[in-house]
Amino acid sequence: MKRVQLDFFNSTQLTDNRPTFISPATVAFILPSTSTPKAPDDDGSTTSPPDTMSPMKSNEMDTFDDILWKEMLGNPRLSAKLGDDQLDSNEPSASLNFDFESTSGEEKDQKPPSLSNFIKFLKRLLNLPDVTEDEAKNGLKIVTPIPANFSVFYYEQKVDHFSYTNNDTFDQRVIISADHWCKNGCPIFFFTGGASDIFTYANNSGLLWENAARFRAMVIFAEHRYFGHSLPYGKRAFKNLKTLGYLNVEQSLADFAEIIQDIKQSYPAASRSPVIAFGGSYGANLAAWLRIKYPHLVEGALASSAMFVTDNYDCGEYYRIVTKNFERYSTKCSESIRKSWTAIRNLWKVEEGRNWLSDTFRLCRQLKEADISDFMNWLTTTFTYLAMVDYPNAANLFSPLPANPINETCQHLDNPNHTDKTLLRRVFKAISIFHNYTKERRCIEIKKSVEVFESDPWSFMSCTEIIIPKCSDGINDMFFEKTWNLTKIKTDCMNRWKIIPRAQKIQLLFGGRNLSAASNIVFSVGERDPMAAYGLLNSISLSLVVIKIPNAYHIEDLRPSDPHDSLSLLDARRTEVQIIKYWINTFYSRIGFYPRHWLEFSNLI
């Protein structure tokens, strides 16, 4: 690995200078360094693999705020230490005190970074809210749901893998945990990041973390180019097609392949490690395509909530599934939403009505007459996201939500016959479950409040390769009439990005649903997930298996286990684990090698 490493030891107890594993806890130690993470030897000691990292140069700072990187570079040893009274604490969330130290005589006279700026850097790194006044004064408390020690790397990645004319590189963010890896050919779990910050996936993928100990596996989460902090050309990434044109599926898969290959070369013991790919939603497609494109690097793939669009699509099924999820709680709820669109149009006719909507929905800026599509699409997206994550337990995938969030939402939508303004006041209270459940937002910016699949990079990909047809009629669903018009889509894409969609490209590259030549892929589908409208519903062969999960939602099988998980979800996870175990055993049998730890522990899986 190359570039900068930050180590996050997830524990409030330190033993012999090594972290002791404790279930989800506060980050207790943070140390930028210039070496790859230490992996446990068979005797419990640690040895460092060969150093393959190099410090960042001052002209390579496009991704982060220059001032923060300069302070980091000027002070290469920045450690967060617990006080003596905290070392014996069993509390899973202790505040951290930062000591800023220099490691050479040349650096002793340099000014250490301000506590506020360093905290700002760390919070941005971990995709957390901006530093508060209290944190700037008293120190930082970082709580992560990742139940393991992990390191964050910035891998020097090629911008263009397929030509010899562009030698530019960018820093791709990678999360690595070797907590449970046996360091002797044991498996590697590799998560293919999708259309979001990589910590969104790492924080919500309990299936990998919980099974890492059982499989003695290394866990890797690789961020997708142009998302999160992995920005080719930094702040200029979205300037024009010259810098953005490298955002496509083929380049992204090559990024992942490069990282896997580098891991196998950097860690000699990993050369005989089988790699299992995991992914959710668009990332599920990437996991499957990674297995198809690079079978010599990836032994198998678990693709949760993957999307496969063909010419024989039904553009209305997506919104019908959303509607059914609301109707399960109350038909009055879905009918209230259906009638709200007319109420919005009635008020939109005059400026006074638009101002009333702006104030009632506590928007950050006043609505203009031309904003009606943005406003209605924003509400539509809110309801569809709720339908995707109506988990029986509290979650924080798209936003912090309670258990069964649709139930909470529908509590406010119990009478579709209210007057227009009364109905829309109720709608605001309903959508606040999604947008402001924690009561922390003072106002809502409709173009930024559902960023996961509304961001610039996703908008670009929706205009190039990932074409997802959606339509509604307001009769068989609870939305307004919205047709699917590829001609209009092409016009909109040309206006915004100066490109024309290549709707058939993915099918040409990977076969669409015609995957009979592939092998070792599990496709899991939650039957209540709106994305099931585009999913595979039947197994193709003994090694291309579809697991349909009744009453399950979007990527629910990847989520951390919970006492409220359904029996069907538990059964699906058990099946997935046994299939993965079979792939790994087959790999070891093929190469004629079994790690000693695998032989000892695999019978317990």
Q: Taking the CB of residue 107, how many other CB atoms lie within 10 A of it?
A: 14
Query: Which tokens hold the place of 462?
Result: 């929706």
For residues 461 and 455, give the distance between their C-alpha atoms in angstroms, rounded to a whole number: 10
Annotated catalytic residue 554:
yes
- DSSP secondary structure code for residue 521 in this structure: E
Coil, helix or strand at residue 487: helix
Coil, helix or strand at residue 572: helix
Q: Please, are residues 499 and 464 in contact by the beta-carbon 8 Å criterion?
A: yes
Strands 5-8 and 521-526: unpaired
Find, among 429, 399, 402, the residue nearest to 414 by Cα: 429
Catalytic, out of 11, 230, 273, 281 = 281
Strands 275-280 and 300-304: parallel
Quote helix, strand, coil % in the chain, to nearest 5: 40, 15, 45
Catalytic, out of 7, 171, 255, 529 = 529
Locate the DSSP E strands across 228-283: 275-280
Coil, helix or strand at residue 405: helix
Q: Please, are residues 521 and 264 in contact by the beta-carbon 8 Å criterion?
A: no
For residues 549 and 566, give the distance between their C-alpha atoms in angstroms, rounded to a whole number: 10
Contacts of 525 (CB under 8 A, 6+ apart): 305, 532, 535, 536, 537, 546, 547, 548, 549
Annotated catalytic residue 151:
no
For residues 351 and 333, give the distance between their C-alpha atoms in angstroms, rounded to a whole number: 28
For residues 9 and 484, give the distance between their C-alpha atoms in angstroms, rounded to a whole number: 49
Catalytic, out of 180, 229, 412, 554 = 554
List Cα–Cα distances, 249 to 40, 155, 192, in angstroms.
35, 19, 12
For residues 242 and 464, give the distance between their C-alpha atoms in angstroms, rounded to a whole number: 15
Contacts of 91 (CB under 8 A, 6+ apart): 12
Annotated catalytic residue 66:
no
Q: Where are the alpha helices (DSSP H) in 141-240?
A: 198-202, 206-215
Q: Catalytic residues, which ones? A: 281, 529, 554
